[in-house]
């Protein structure tokens, strides 16, 4: 269910071209799972892998060898503790292909729990073993649970204790974010609600929503706070008022103003500096908190998103689907803080999954990364 993208692919002071090897393997459509230190690097850990460790079925060995430039080269298996692997030396660095590991680490089990990592402009996908399987794999070959130099994402200098959850409308961000915040004991912050507050204030002042300068001045002067999952605008609880139909209609237009977004991003960063937030929005992980140790991009199929939103509003599903598509297009094409997947976000497609399953997944990721 989960996938992510990490830019931490190239270890410092190393001849290992991890990104290049992964590109070669994925473009050749080889089936494998990245494990070991290279798997940790892909999940955002500060670590310097010396080689690319992958686990694969024996039937995939020749395809993998061809992809990394070793077609026709005989590679003899090596017994390493409770594991059996092939040591391959390539122009882009060493690659270890694990064929068998005892202790229940069958390829099917590792693959079933793997994280699908997206990387590069073409969003190439590679399967990465879960943290539990990486630990088990290292134990099977007689190594420590984690490399001595490994630093969890949340322990990196300057990393705020924030879970950033972005995604399009109807993906379930609000429900999931609230439940995750309760699970972790963090404060829930809806960045989208802040833009709704601006809209409410603009409409209440009788200002022209098309007057960018007036709207920007209003946004800069607002005091927005979050307490017990309630939203306060200048000391007044507006949790219900910001959900009114006129606010729903006008918010995408007002939120697209760069001046408004700049004012809200500055305020959000002030709040995040203290840490301990689960924040949802559309640009939280890409613009507001790019150093967040866990970024989630929550999505679902267009049909599923429309059905969920229609259940909330009572509107026709087809009409809601068109509305969501229009909102997506506006979010993706706006001048500032466009909706997109952060480079190191974990993409969770919630289609066919319960809220509890999604919350469990995010809570597990938060624990693995040292956030909670």
Q: What pLDDT, in 10s, does the model give residues 310-319?
A: 887 888 888 8
pLDDT at 8 over 50: no
Which of 308, 313, 319 minimizes the C-alpha distance to 350?
A: 308
Question: pTM of the entire structure?
Answer: 0.77
E strand or H helix at 345, and its extent? strand 345-349
For residue 306, the tally of other CB atoms under 10 A from its CB is 24
Residue 144 confidence class, pLDDT cut points 50, 70, 90? confident
> What backbone phi and psi angles, to 5 degrees, belong to 107?
-55, -40
Is the confidence at residue 125, as pLDDT, over 80? no
Q: Binning pLDDT at 50, 70 and 90, where does residue 36 land?
A: very high
pLDDT level of residue 366 (50, 70, 90 thresholds): very high
Query: What is the SS3 assignment for 334?
Result: coil
Q: Would you give the end-to-end CA distance of the chain in angstroms?
A: 21
Cβ pair 84, 77 in contact under 8 A: yes
Q: Which of the four pLDDT bands, split at 50, 70 and 90, describes residue 118?
A: low
């Amino acid at each position: 269910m989960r996938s992510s993208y990490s830019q931490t692919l190239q270890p410092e002071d190393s001849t290992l071209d991890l990104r290049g090897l992964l590109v070669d393997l994925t473009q050749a459509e080889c089936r494998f799972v990245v494990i070991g230190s290279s798997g940790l690097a892909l999940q955002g850990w500060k670590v310097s892998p010396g080689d690319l460790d992958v686990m694969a079925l024996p039937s995939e060995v020749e395809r993998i060898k061809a992809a990394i430039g070793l077609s026709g080269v005989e590679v003899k298996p090596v017994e390493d503790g409770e594991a059996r692997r092939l040591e391959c030396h390539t122009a882009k660095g060493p690659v270890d292909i694990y064929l068998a590991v005892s202790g229940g680490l069958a390829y099917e089990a590792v693959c079933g729990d793997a994280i699908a990592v997206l990387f590069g402009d073409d969003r190439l996908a590679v399967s990465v073993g879960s943290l539990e399987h990486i630990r088990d794999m290292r134990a099977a070959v007689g190594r420590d649970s984690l490399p001595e130099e490994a630093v969890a994402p949340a322990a990196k200098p300057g990393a705020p204790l924030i879970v950033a959850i972005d995604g399009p409308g109807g993906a379930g961000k609000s429900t999931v974010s609230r439940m995750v915040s309760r699970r972790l004991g963090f404060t829930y912050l809806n960045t989208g609600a802040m833009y709704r507050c601006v809209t409410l204030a603009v409409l209440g002042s009788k200002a022209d929503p098309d007057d960018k300068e007036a709207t920007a001045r209003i946004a800069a002067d607002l005091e927005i706070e979050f307490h017990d999952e309630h939203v306060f605008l200048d000391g007044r609880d507006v949790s219900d008022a910001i959900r009114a139909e006129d606010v729903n209609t006008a918010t995408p237009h007002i939120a697209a103003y760069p001046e408004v977004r700049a004012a809200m991003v500055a305020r959000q960063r002030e709040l995040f500096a203290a840490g301990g937030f689960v924040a949802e929005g559309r640009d939280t992980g890409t613009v507001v908190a790019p150093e967040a140790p866990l970024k989630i991009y929550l999505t679902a199929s267009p049909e599923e998103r429309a059905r969920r939103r229609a259940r909330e509003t009572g509107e026709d599903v087809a009409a809601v689907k068109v509305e969501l598509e229009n909102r997506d297009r506006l979010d993706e094409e706006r001048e500032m803080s466009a909706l997109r997947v952060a480079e190191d976000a974990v993409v969770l497609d919630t289609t066919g999954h319960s809220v509890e399953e999604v919350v469990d997944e995010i809570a597990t990721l938060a624990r693995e990364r040292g956030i909670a």
